[in-house]
């Protein structure tokens, strides 16, 4: 399936692994305010990344968010660990950040990964691709690994709270993608390819999932179209 940005996806073996060199372009065309929110997350991360702090990023992809966060902390001694299941993404992230010794990328399944104590964990549009039962386990593992006062910053594609709202948000989102230059065929193909792959929740369902994982202080920090960002504190 042609989904734009010179990327072909197969809904039965869905992966950006073979299109990593076009991934950044595709994300910019598909995710509203993508780079602006990376910069926002980077600014917010400063509150949690003190000297000798550890940060994990789930789904590091090509390292664009990691680059933004580390650029905001040019002299602070921290440990940044980017996790991804795709070896091509790991290589792209390592190449992008090869000059920063604070960064390393690991090929890993987050559902079985053993987190060390951290002050910040970031998931930028990643957990929505993990089945809900496993997603709960992952969030509980993250909460257990966070130091007191630590934080999870999580961005997700979301469902509307009702059918009418969902319809409006979906139409507006398709308008956005079309305005970015994606063809109607590419927009349709991407939606088809994500069936059974992306499993978003509503705003309130995400809040409830975070509460069930241990987080009690949960702030909505971003909302546009059918996308949302949360800050959850331990």
pLDDT tens for each residue of 104-140: 999 999 999 999 999 999 999 999 999 999 999 999 9
Percent of all residues in the chain with a pLDDT value above 70, rounded to a whole number: 91
Percentage of residues of the chain with pLDDT beyond 90: 78
Instruction: Give the mean pLDDT of the chain.
Output: 90
User: Cβ(193)–Cβ(7) under 8 Å?
Assistant: no
Q: Which residues pair with 229 in a beta bridge?
A: 155, 222
* Confidence at residue 22, expressed as pLDDT on a 0 to 100 scale: 67
Domains of the chain by start residue, with CATH? 17-233 (3.40.50.150)
Residue found under tokens 């902390």: 73
Q: What pLDDT shows up at residue 198? A: 84
Is the predicted pLDDT of residue 82 greater than 90, yes or no? yes
Helix or strand holding residue 224 (H, E): strand 217-224
**Cα torsion 194, 213, 234, 53: sign:** negative
Global confidence as pTM: 0.90
SS3 129: helix
Burial class (CB in 10 A: 0-12, 13-18, 19+), 89: buried
- pLDDT for position 20: 56
Structure tokens at 228: 């949302």
Mean local confidence (pLDDT), 158-167: 93
More confident of the two residues 164 and 22: 164
């Amino acid at each position: 399936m042609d989904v734009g940005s010179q990327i072909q996806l197969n809904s039965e073996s869905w992966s950006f692994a073979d299109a990593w060199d076009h991934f950044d372009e595709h994300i910019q065309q598909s995710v509203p305010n993508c780079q602006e929110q990376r910069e926002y997350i980077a600014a917010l991360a400063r509150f949690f990344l003190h000297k000798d702090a550890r940060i994990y990023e789930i789904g590091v992809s090509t390292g664009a968010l990691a680059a933004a966060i580390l650029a905001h902390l040019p002299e602070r001694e921290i440990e940044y660990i980017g996790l991804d299941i795709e070896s091509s993404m790991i290589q792209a992230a390592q190449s992008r950040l090869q000059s920063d010794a604070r960064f390393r990328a690991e090929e890993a399944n987050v559902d079985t990964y053993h987190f060390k104590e951290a002050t910040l964990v970031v998931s930028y549009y990643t957990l929505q691709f993990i089945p809900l039962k496993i997603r709960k386990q992952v969030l509980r593992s993250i909460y257990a690994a966070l130091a007191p006062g630590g934080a999870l910053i999580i961005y997700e594609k979301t469902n509307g709270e009702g059918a009418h709202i969902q319809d409006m948000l979906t139409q507006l989102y398709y308008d956005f993608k079309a305005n970015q230059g994606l063809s109607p065929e590419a927009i349709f193909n991407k939606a088809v390819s994500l069936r059974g792959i992306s499993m978003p929740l509503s705003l309130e369902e995400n809040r409830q999932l975070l509460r069930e994982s241990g987080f009690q202080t949960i702030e909505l920090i971003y909302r546009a179209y059918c996308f949302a960002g949360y800050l959850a504190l331990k």
